[in-house]
Structure 1
Amino acid sequence: MVDARYDIAFRLYPYERVGAQDADAPVRHPVVVVGGGPVGMALALDLGRRGTPVLVLDDHDGVGQGSRAICFARRTLEIADRLGCGDALVEKGVQWDVGRVFHGEDEVFTFNLSPEGGMRRPAFINLQQPHFEKYLVEQVRAAQAEGAPIEIRGRNRVSTLTRKDDHVALGVETPDGPYTLEADWLVACDGARSPVRGMLDLDFAGRMFEDNFLIADVRMKAKFPTERWFWFEPTFKGSGQSALLHKQPDDIWRIDFQLGWNIDRDKETKPENVRARVDAMLGEGVDYEVVWTSIYTFHCRRIADFRAGRVLFAGDAAHQVSPFGARGANSGVQDADNLAWKLDLVLRGRAPETLLDSYSEERIHGADENIMNSTRATDFLTPKSEISRIFRNAVLTLARRHPFARPLVNSGRLSVPCVYDGLSLNGPDALDGPAATRVGAPCPDAPLGDAFLLDRLGGGFTILTIGTNAPDEVVEDGIAARRLDLSLHDDTTGYLAARYLGRAPAAVYLIRPDQHVAARWPAFDERAMRAALRRATGKE
């Protein structure tokens, strides 16, 4: 079956009966992931590539429809590189650098996200979520062919959940009836309406914003440039308080209209009413096809803890933000990136179960940062009082002529990766080095001849040395950290020195499997390195 609207294979994992459905006793699995979206598939792929058996249960049989998430950040693309699909995402996606902000008919200012030099990946690409999911599933299939222990079961809906001391028992509904299974660890990646979260009676805390937005994906041969255009109080008829225009692959354009709170959803999604809004924005004579529409209301909230015993939560099942700033899917993929290596070490007996508490600690830190930024953007977009509106419009007026006011304009602060400042897994920061590579930060990329640094960091612990000596490997309590030795001769562009040395003549970094800095020093110290390894794996 093909989704003709987006020209991608839809039924990527159709239902098949499995032996476990006829077993006399429930089959136990090390990890069960509930939800086959981008977060669940990224987690399963990462675990499977590490050799940890994982089962994905999805209540559908393939990727979703419609654009949904469309903007993927550099950090997500770097994670995708490690998972094997970065090239496919960038090749299919639309790269953009320029954004324009309008107030009414007037352009307030233009910003440029020209990719920072020395990076393999662009700052952002636009790509419909179904494509992202499809490329992940293709990598799962490739990994399965190479022996990775990953299984996907489509049209398997989790209907009951019982937590035990050492496992989770699940009831699963299928087209052939129910069956039961067990999981040492369960990861809920089942979206904003998470049935797993509901079964555990876990509530979100945060804000719901009293507004509705209409998404319209339209296919057209438009002369608009490949830019992000955002309007405050647009003048075209029926547009509401704000509107957004973004280009996607295959001549699809994403349009968002702010509708207000008290609306008739059925009326607003009637084809003639959607077309009336689009016509008013695009002008006369533009030939287009509406291929998908949806109305959404968004929240900025999260659950109190991302771990509930042997159940862990990731992506929208754990936290929700507004779509402005592209923080939803990007933060969810970073959840999976943070969790996979920790869960793998725990299952292998190389780290205590308490290491999984650091997953909750670190990703709550990231979620709170995203919620803060998302809330600020939403308050700027939709002022809650007349005084707030006057302030917002005064900022927009000033920003037309005065650069100092432009950082105050908030049409969605675009997603950046979280830095785990001051959290429990961090070791010492004894290097007088650049802030961008401080302890807790994700490693920025740098060219190394015809390769890039992140390609060489792999999926385990790495001892990065620049201009100093260290052993080829340090093994501490079953955890191996392997050396990557670089010199300034490798740094033909100067980016490595600028990002990892600064004014220091030499440096030693301990880098985690998710490419975050665990500790750094001016020279190798074996005792300090072993202590940092213990701390980074939850043993201190």
Structure 2
Amino acid sequence: MLSTYQYQKFPYLTPPELQTEDITRRQVIIVGAGPVGLAAAIDCKLQGLDVLVLDDDDTVSVGSRGLCYAKRTLEILDRLGVADAVRNKGVEWNVGRTFFRKDEVFNFNLLPVVDHKHPGMVNLQQYYLEEFLVRRAIELGVELRWKNRVTAVEPTTEFSTLHIETADGSYAMQADWLIACDGARSPIRQMLGLEVEGKVFMDRFLIADVLMKADFPAERWFWFDPPFHPNQSVLLHREADNVWRIDFQLGWDADPVEERKPENVIPRIKAMLGDDREFELEWVSVYTFQCRRMEKFRHGRILFAGDAAHQVSPFGARGANSGIQDADNLVWKLKLVIDGLATEGLLDSYSDERVFAADDNLLNSTRSTDFITPKSTVSKCFRNAVLELAREHAFARKLVNSGRLSVPSILKLSKLNTTDSDVFAGQLQLGAAVEDGPVIYQGKAGYLLELLQHHFYGLYFCEDASQIPAETLAGFAALKGLPVPVHTFIISATATAVGRDDYQVVHDFKGLLAERYDANIATHAGYYLLRPDQHLAARWRQFDLGKVLAALARATSCQEGHGHAITTTA
């Protein structure tokens, strides 16, 4: 099908339920083996949950589709065990350039400061990401059932019954919890009569994946009104295998069937690259995009994630990145609920937080679309004036919008946060995904986020770990002994102490973590409570065990003094 990629057919196996009249019940069933469903399944398995994945296909996605994976997504994939494969195969980049007609008017750097483990973006065709996720799921023992199509869902207050069709017949299963990751057209959403609300944009875009050898830098190039495609926009990206993604804006009146034909695609590419550039068409598609979401992502014991819950325009790379962050937000909460350490109300925070994130993405995607495709003559004049001014004036560059690229949403209004009682400066905000930085841990150089898995963590900043008071160390031990334990990392400016069972010590040998967290270690010893998805839940200038316990109770939706999370063990 593609000259650069060999599609693998995953084996269909006859489900054992066809051999019995008993209905099997599973803890978690995920429908959809795309990036979001597979990420959720891997996370479930890593956290010890019984998980089954159903998919109506038997291979990875056709065509490159999702392409750009942002730094935060790479950090999540690192925890899941696939980031190295993605980076080794993909194309890393940080710089984007915007052109108006013939001239560059604006550029940006996603990582203007050094000492981050991951780049701002990695470009990689979606079929590779899915392949790596499938491999990792199989390695962990996740049960994947290919060519198993869900035809009906019957929800109750305790479980959902799924009716599933295969080549060998139909069967039924029950799921304590059902996660729907079955795409923008989500059959499960339709079966339940649930709607998505928003708008479809009246424009069409041509995607052409082009195989060619070119010495263009690994950067994002975006043109407004270029001479080779006047009055429209064009985007150029490099992918793996010497494949280049080119997006041509076509306009609403374009015929999608005609525009996909090679005799119409090739002249557009030659006009852009010149007649002397040799290339081959790898994959072509025409799409119309939409910005829509469900009203809420939790419906009883059924949870929606990824495109099944929300859809955005591709400009800004907010689709797959947001979906993987959905899974990252959801699974730790589901784990606590299943283990009886939090009430089901914690899952309402999944919907609340990811609806907030979806609205953030929808707003940014809508603004990008309005800038790329002005809806009136006045809007177009404004847009072109901004682009002209951007060449010389910094204020105008802030208005240039060829797609605000994916960043994790700051969950500043989350009910799981504990409001700051101290004053903090710097960019790190309450509810944000926390900052990474280089550390030395057990004699080896690495990065902080590599050490954080799927637990609650406390980061205790100090100048010298060997000088921490005994009562503070006793507090760390108490936190480690909770049913929902908090694992403390002491972030020390000097390498004078080693960890023990109750806490670990890392050396902030460049001082960057203290700077990025505004820890102010010269006069304070700050403590920062991180959720399992590495979002900042609470922080204080001084460690206070009672305050940490109260914040942990809030972050697990337990009432202070009554929740499992704050009951110490003997």
TM interval, shorter chain, is over 0.9
Amino acid at match of 1:136: L
Amino acid at match of 1:521: W
Distance in 2, matches of 1:374 and 1:180, equals: 40
Aligned to 1:320: 311
Pick aligned residue for 1:297 from 288, 292, 303: 288
The equivalences for 1:169-184 within 5 A come to: 169-184=161-176
The equivalences for 1:525-540 within 5 A come to: 525-540=544-559
User: Could you give the per-residue CA deviations for residues 484-523 of structure 1, whole angstroms, max 9, x where no partner exists?
Assistant: 1221121211211101234453211111111111111122
Aligned to 2:75: 78
The equivalences for 1:255-294 within 5 A come to: 255-294=246-285
User: Is 2:157 the partner of 1:165?
Assistant: yes
Is the CA contact 1:428–1:532 (under 8 Å) kept in the aligned structure 2? no
Aligned to 2:124: 127
Q: Following TM superposition, by how much is the alpha carbon of 1:300 offset from its aligned partner in structure 2, in angstroms? A: 0.9
Distance in 1, matches of 2:419 and 2:81, equals: 32
SS at match of 2:241: coil
Q: Following TM superposition, by how much is the alpha carbon of 1:98 offset from its aligned partner in structure 2, in angstroms? A: 2.3
Identify unmatched segments of 5+ residues in structure 2: 463-467, 495-506, 560-570
Q: Following TM superposition, by how much is the alpha carbon of 1:42 offset from its aligned partner in structure 2, in angstroms? A: 0.3
Distance in 2, matches of 1:297 and 1:261, equals: 9
- Out of 466-475 and 164-173, give the one that drifted further: 466-475
Give the alignment's TM-score, normalised by structure 2.
0.91
Q: Following TM superposition, by how much is the alpha carbon of 1:227 offset from its aligned partner in structure 2, in angstroms? A: 1.6
Distance in 1, matches of 2:231 and 2:30, equals: 40
SS at match of 1:408: coil
Q: Following TM superposition, by how much is the alpha carbon of 1:213 offset from its aligned partner in structure 2, in angstroms? A: 0.5
Pick aligned residue for 1:482 from 487, 497, 500: 487
Is the CA contact 1:343–1:356 (under 8 Å) kept in the aligned structure 2? yes
Aligned to 2:18: 21
Amino acid at match of 2:19: D
The equivalences for 1:100-499 within 5 A come to: 100-114=97-111, 116-144=113-141, 150-237=142-229, 241-449=232-440, 450-467=445-462, 469-470=472-473, 471-474=476-479, 478-489=483-494, 490-499=507-516
Is the CA contact 1:240–1:257 (under 8 Å) kept in the aligned structure 2? no
RMSD: 1.5
Is the CA contact 1:115–1:122 (under 8 Å) kept in the aligned structure 2? no
Amino acid at match of 2:23: P
Distance in 2, matches of 1:369 and 1:209, equals: 18
Is the CA contact 2:342–2:557 (under 8 Å) kept in the aligned structure 1? yes
Q: Following TM superposition, by how much is the alpha carbon of 1:261 offset from its aligned partner in structure 2, in angstroms? A: 0.7
SS at match of 2:364: helix
Taking only the aligned residue pairs, the percentage that are identical comes to 51
User: Is 2:54 the partner of 1:62?
Assistant: no
User: Could you give the per-residue CA deviations for residues 10-34 of structure 1, whole angstroms, max 9, x where no partner exists?
Assistant: 32x3211121222212211111101
How many residue pairs were aligned? 531
Distance in 2, matches of 1:409 and 1:501, equals: 31
Aligned to 2:3: 5
User: Could you give the per-residue CA deviations for residues 99-121 of structure 1, whole angstroms, max 9, x where no partner exists?
Assistant: 22112222223333345322111
- Out of 494-503 and 427-436, give the one that drifted further: 427-436
Is the CA contact 1:30–1:53 (under 8 Å) kept in the aligned structure 2? yes
Is the CA contact 1:462–1:513 (under 8 Å) kept in the aligned structure 2? yes
SS at match of 1:479: coil
SS at match of 1:17: coil
Distance 1:350 1:428, change over 3 A: same
User: Could you give the per-residue CA deviations for residues 459-506 of structure 1, whole angstroms, max 9, x where no partner exists?
Assistant: 111121112534234168721112112211212112111012344532
- Out of 115-124 and 415-424, give the one that drifted further: 115-124
Amino acid at match of 2:538: A
Q: Following TM superposition, by how much is the alpha carbon of 1:455 offset from its aligned partner in structure 2, in angstroms? A: 1.2
Distance in 2, matches of 1:188 and 1:356, equals: 15
- Out of 355-364 and 452-461, give the one that drifted further: 452-461
Distance 1:195 1:179, change over 3 A: same
- Out of 225-234 and 322-331, give the one that drifted further: 225-234
Distance in 1, matches of 2:227 and 2:428, equals: 45
Q: Following TM superposition, by how much is the alpha carbon of 1:206 offset from its aligned partner in structure 2, in angstroms? A: 1.1
Distance in 2, matches of 1:277 and 1:361, equals: 44
User: Is 2:21 the partner of 1:40?
Assistant: no
Q: Following TM superposition, by how much is the alpha carbon of 1:448 offset from its aligned partner in structure 2, in angstroms? A: 0.3
- Out of 463-472 and 297-306, give the one that drifted further: 463-472
Q: Following TM superposition, by how much is the alpha carbon of 1:8 offset from its aligned partner in structure 2, in angstroms? A: 4.5
Distance in 2, matches of 1:117 and 1:368, equals: 31
Aligned to 1:506: 525
Q: Following TM superposition, by how much is the alpha carbon of 1:286 offset from its aligned partner in structure 2, in angstroms? A: 1.1
Distance 1:181 1:414, change over 3 A: same
- Out of 486-495 and 247-256, give the one that drifted further: 486-495
Aligned to 1:147: none
Identify unmatched segments of 5+ residues in structure 1: 145-149
- Out of 44-53 and 422-431, give the one that drifted further: 422-431
Distance 1:520 1:215, change over 3 A: same
User: Could you give the per-residue CA deviations for residues 214-263 of structure 1, whole angstroms, max 9, x where no partner exists?
Assistant: 100010011322221111112215x6611111001110000001111122
SS at match of 2:485: strand
Distance in 2, matches of 1:99 and 1:438, equals: 26
Is the CA contact 1:476–1:534 (under 8 Å) kept in the aligned structure 2? no
Distance in 2, matches of 1:113 and 1:478, equals: 40
Distance in 1, matches of 2:332 and 2:109, equals: 35
Amino acid at match of 1:195: P
Distance in 2, matches of 1:481 and 1:268, equals: 56
Distance in 2, matches of 1:66 and 1:432, equals: 49
Is the CA contact 1:339–1:356 (under 8 Å) kept in the aligned structure 2? yes
SS at match of 2:250: strand
SS at match of 1:190: coil
Is the CA contact 1:433–1:503 (under 8 Å) kept in the aligned structure 2? no
Distance in 1, matches of 2:26 and 2:511, equals: 48
Give the alignment's TM-score, normalised by structure 1.
0.95
Distance in 1, matches of 2:448 and 2:258, equals: 53
Distance in 2, matches of 1:126 and 1:212, equals: 23
SS at match of 1:68: coil
SS at match of 1:260: coil
Q: Following TM superposition, by how much is the alpha carbon of 1:153 offset from its aligned partner in structure 2, in angstroms? A: 0.3
- Out of 328-337 and 522-531, give the one that drifted further: 522-531
Is the CA contact 2:426–2:518 (under 8 Å) kept in the aligned structure 1? no
Distance in 2, matches of 1:423 and 1:361, equals: 8
Distance in 1, matches of 2:318 and 2:19, equals: 42
Aligned to 2:542: 523
Distance in 2, matches of 1:421 and 1:8, equals: 44
Is the CA contact 1:216–1:294 (under 8 Å) kept in the aligned structure 2? yes
